[in-house]
Structure 1
Amino acid sequence: MMVSTLRDLLNAVSSLRRAIDDDAAARLEGWKDMVGEGGLPEGAVNLANYLALRERDVTPLQPALARFGLSSLGRSESRVLPTLDAVLATLSALVGEEARVARPDAETFDAGLERLERSAEVLFGPRNDPRRSRIMVTLEPDIALDHDELERMLAAGTDCVRINCAHDAPQTWRAMARAVREAARARGRTCRVLMDLAGPKIRTVDPHTPGDRPRLQSGDELLLTFGRSADRTRFPFQAGCSFPEILHQLDKGAPVALDDGAAMGRVVSLRKEGVVVAIEKTGPRGKKLKGDKGINFPGTPIELAPLTPEDLDALDVVCEIADMVGYSFVQRASDVALLQGEIGKRRAHAEPLGIIAKIETQLAFRNLPEIAVQAASANPFGIMIARGDLAVEVGFERTSEVQEEMLWLAEAAHVPVVWATQVLESLVKKGMGTRGEYTDAAMGARAECVMLNKGPFIADGVAALGDVLRRAERHATKKTPQLRALEAWRAASPEV
């Protein structure tokens, strides 16, 4: 793509605009068949345009636009066609010809971001603070049922809470939700409740190790059994799998990760007793083989029902008391349709329940556009960047790249994002944060909501996170720098 003159640039952008129209139209036609009578959500059209744009390499256009003082296309996530049309109208004027497209007015140009903000308010409730990003706290019974601690947490800036249905029981969930709402109402505000379905937790079961060596090391072999232990002389390291049927879906060479990637290996053989995993990487001291630790199969598209019988039981309570449901292990649009059907059975005449899709596998990431279109066609919808499992699935070195793309895709779809997993973890659990955690927390300002996990210093964590988010938001909105005066630099400059 040669761009040497204004007219070359005008023709290149005009050609790009036509190609995006054609590609997006084809994609939208397929999505219409997928959602049926529900119709496409408003953000789907912009998402289709964004995917059509990003499937092309437009890097030669970026410096050419900048040389003429025009906006690049790098901040067009929420408004693809308005951005292109604004550039085309300006280029047409610069070359002295009649505009090939109408220049979008301010309302049209800003509509995408405003739609995203409305979606965030529907899901997470009105802002309780001038900051843009809400703060979500994972609630535990000890805090929820302690009036003073709950007051401290809300006073520090908590906007919404998460109840993990993998723990406790329905009567406890009801008590927690009731306590939060009563405390928030006493403060003259709201506090939305997300209830997180556990999903099919793939974990180690009944581990066996040599009596003198409980830790896996690089070079060891681990037998993941179908349920019954095998010859321990041949396989001194063994563990069952909570969903043994998954093991039949693995091929020789498939990667396997244990306990959030603390031990990594590959399938080297398939046996009648189970699959043999050669351990390739652990920490210097090895990794102790324990029960109830997560197992991931990066790169293998696992076929597993996303709603367990326990999830369906929990969903009865969720549909009764929650504002949002967290969907674990969602991987396809059909998984979303399954949950929507189950919600419909329980809330046929009620307001639609918000859905937060937890994106934690490579397959879910790849299917994110279709997941978003299916969910947002009938429900208030957001995504959670579940960086724990996701990092294991895509590889730690790719995590920052993948979470960045997820932020872009969600903004293009006008879908709110929850930035989750170990945000200010050391501060919340130990009372003292780390430099890296504060930098990571500032990245959360690009999302509509940031989630903290539970810990004894949760109120301190909420206050610190609120401060970090307010500072970060003054510098940038999404990817767009605000260019405010450099107050921190000026304050740090020595007097001369």
Structure 2
Amino acid sequence: FGARGEGPQTRIMVTLPTEAATDPALVAALIAEGADAFRINCAHDGPEAWAAMIAHIRAAAPERRIPVSMDLGGPKFRIVELTDKPKHRFFPGDRFALVARLEDAPKGLVGATLSHPALLAALQPGAEVSVDDGKIRAKVRVMGPDHAVLEVIHAPTKGAKLKPEKGVNLPGANLRVAALTPADLEALDFVAPNADLVAFSFVQTPQDVRDLIAALQARAAPGRELPAILLKIETPLGLRNLPELIVEAGGVLPVAVMIARGDLAVEIGFDRLSEIQEEILWLCEAAQVPVVWATQVLEGMVKEGQASRAEVTDAAMSQRADCVMLNKGPHVVAAVGFLRGILGRMDRHHAKKSDRLGPLRVWGEGA
């Protein structure tokens, strides 16, 4: 995740927004504040913009290696269309339908189509569905041949809307869906010869890893190493198979693991996330595999310019990982500097998973 002569041991990865393709000053400012690596999301923009972003990174720091991670979109489990405009707010007790086609929606209910048929096929009475990172949770009450009627069991106090592009999760369901999509294979034409890491979304099985390695090898550029594989752990099945995924990928290419805490929390339950991310950190340290701590780190500061107390504590905990990922936002440059300071101070107390037991400076002379 990049070489650095000084500063905290934990590296900082920053997600680049679209404007980074046309604003080299933004990239330079992020590097000056302490960014060690960059993430490009292949679900947005295209090869021309990606190439411009990478060119700006290389031009801003020609004297050092700043890795570029390119994130494959994977199979998107999202709402596609709605029978009603997204103006209706849902509260506990309200009902809506997930449908194969909009015309299949039962009369009187808002119907929503999904981006992948496996989602609707996996539903059964009593199954739980999460929408928009858990803002809406609902249970299947009625199954039809081409639709499912769901009842909302949880929503914010002010209610929440169903909207196109919002993510959909089926907590506890093992969706046997290929991790590589046609769009991913198209993106790999650029990723294989240009990226330093390829972030593998929705990876669940060793076969998924074999498919990615084969696709990378088919696109190998003469004289250039293939990118390392960054396994994004987002589902219960991917979590359960993590040791096998590490062995499968690490036997061929350098491998790292991303704790994708957004989807993972929804899938396994928010109450289990702290324990599970702890176990992933321990497993990867034992396997000597670097870990990326991701999703909503200092989100308030990145988006609004002010971090909450809980976010600061979370950022301090992230020092035990090898790399921390910040998302894009209007205040991300300031957030990089803020995070770097937190990581540097925590280095005095922890070396990854081990306490240093150093002197407590608050009560020392000149504190």
Find out whether 1:485 has 2:359 as its counterpart: yes
Match of 1:306 in 2: 179
Match of 1:319 in 2: 192
Match of 1:31 in 2: none
**Contact 1:194/1:324 (CA < 8 Å) preserved in 2?**
yes
**Contact 2:3/2:66 (CA < 8 Å) preserved in 1?**
no
**Contact 2:72/2:200 (CA < 8 Å) preserved in 1?**
yes
Find out whether 1:476 has 2:350 as its counterpart: yes
**1:247 aligns with one of 120, 127, 135:** 120
Find out whether 1:125 has 2:2 as its counterpart: yes
**Contact 1:210/1:237 (CA < 8 Å) preserved in 2?**
no
**1:160 aligns with one of 21, 28, 37:** 37
In the TM superposition, residue 333 of structure 1 has moved relative to its aligned partner by 1.2
**Contact 2:193/2:221 (CA < 8 Å) preserved in 1?**
no
In the TM superposition, residue 145 of structure 1 has moved relative to its aligned partner by 3.1
Q: How does 1:89-128 map to 2 (within 5 A)?
A: 124-128=1-5
Query: Take 1:145 and 1:179, find their aligned partners in 2: how far apart are those partners?
Result: 9
Q: How does 1:367-406 map to 2 (within 5 A)?
A: 367-406=241-280
Find out whether 1:258 has 2:136 as its counterpart: no
Q: How does 1:138-153 map to 2 (within 5 A)?
A: 138-153=15-30
**Contact 1:255/1:298 (CA < 8 Å) preserved in 2?**
yes
Query: Take 2:88 and 2:120, find their aligned partners in 1: how far apart are those partners?
Result: 23
Matched residue type, 2:345:
R
SS at match of 1:168: coil
Deviations, residues 414-457 of structure 1 (Å, cap 9, x unaligned): 11000001111111122111111111001111000001111122
Match of 1:181 in 2: 58
Deviations, residues 102-148 of structure 1 (Å, cap 9, x unaligned): xxxxxxxxxxxxxxxxxxxxxx2322433211110001232353233
Deviations, residues 446-478 of structure 1 (Å, cap 9, x unaligned): 000001111122221111111100111110112
Find out whether 1:354 has 2:231 as its counterpart: no
Matched residue type, 1:478:
K
Match of 1:363 in 2: 237
**Contact 2:89/2:160 (CA < 8 Å) preserved in 1?**
yes
Matched residue type, 1:245:
A
**2:210 aligns with one of 337, 341, 344:** 337
**Contact 2:8/2:347 (CA < 8 Å) preserved in 1?**
yes
In the TM superposition, residue 278 of structure 1 has moved relative to its aligned partner by 1.9
Deviations, residues 214-234 of structure 1 (Å, cap 9, x unaligned): 011111222110123335524
SS at match of 2:45: coil
Unaligned runs of 5+ in 2: none
Aligned residues: 366
Query: Take 1:155 and 1:128, find their aligned partners in 2: how far apart are those partners?
Result: 14
**1:197 aligns with one of 40, 49, 72:** 72
**Contact 2:192/2:220 (CA < 8 Å) preserved in 1?**
yes
SS at match of 2:324: strand
Distance 1:299 1:231, change over 3 A: closer
Find out whether 1:270 has 2:143 as its counterpart: yes
Q: CA RMSD in A?
A: 1.8
Structure with greater strand percent: 2
Q: TM-score, normalised by structure 2?
A: 0.95
Matched residue type, 1:277:
L
More moved, 215-224 vs 169-178: 215-224
**Contact 2:199/2:230 (CA < 8 Å) preserved in 1?**
yes
Deviations, residues 149-179 of structure 1 (Å, cap 9, x unaligned): 2222111111110000000111000111111
Find out whether 1:137 has 2:11 as its counterpart: no
Q: TM-score, normalised by structure 1?
A: 0.71
Deviations, residues 241-275 of structure 1 (Å, cap 9, x unaligned): 01123311223222110010001112222212212
**Contact 1:156/1:460 (CA < 8 Å) preserved in 2?**
yes
SS at match of 1:152: helix
Match of 2:286 in 1: 412
**Contact 1:225/1:244 (CA < 8 Å) preserved in 2?**
no
Query: Take 1:308 and 1:444, find their aligned partners in 2: how far apart are those partners?
Result: 31
SS at match of 1:474: coil
Matched residue type, 1:364:
G
More moved, 198-207 vs 480-489: 480-489
In the TM superposition, residue 209 of structure 1 has moved relative to its aligned partner by 4.0
**Contact 2:264/2:273 (CA < 8 Å) preserved in 1?**
yes
Matched residue type, 1:451:
M
More moved, 347-356 vs 272-281: 347-356
**Contact 1:246/1:304 (CA < 8 Å) preserved in 2?**
no
SS at match of 2:274: helix
In the TM superposition, residue 210 of structure 1 has moved relative to its aligned partner by 8.6
More moved, 166-175 vs 427-436: 427-436
Distance 1:130 1:210, change over 3 A: closer
SS at match of 1:229: helix
Query: Take 1:397 and 1:240, find their aligned partners in 2: how far apart are those partners?
Result: 30
Unaligned runs of 5+ in 1: 1-123
**1:291 aligns with one of 154, 161, 164:** 164
In the TM superposition, residue 318 of structure 1 has moved relative to its aligned partner by 0.2
SS at match of 1:191: coil
Distance 1:284 1:491, change over 3 A: farther
**Contact 2:192/2:226 (CA < 8 Å) preserved in 1?**
no
SS at match of 2:64: coil
Any runs of at least 4 consecutive aligned residues in structure 1 with deviations exceeding 3 A, and if so which?
A: 489-493
**Contact 1:387/1:399 (CA < 8 Å) preserved in 2?**
yes
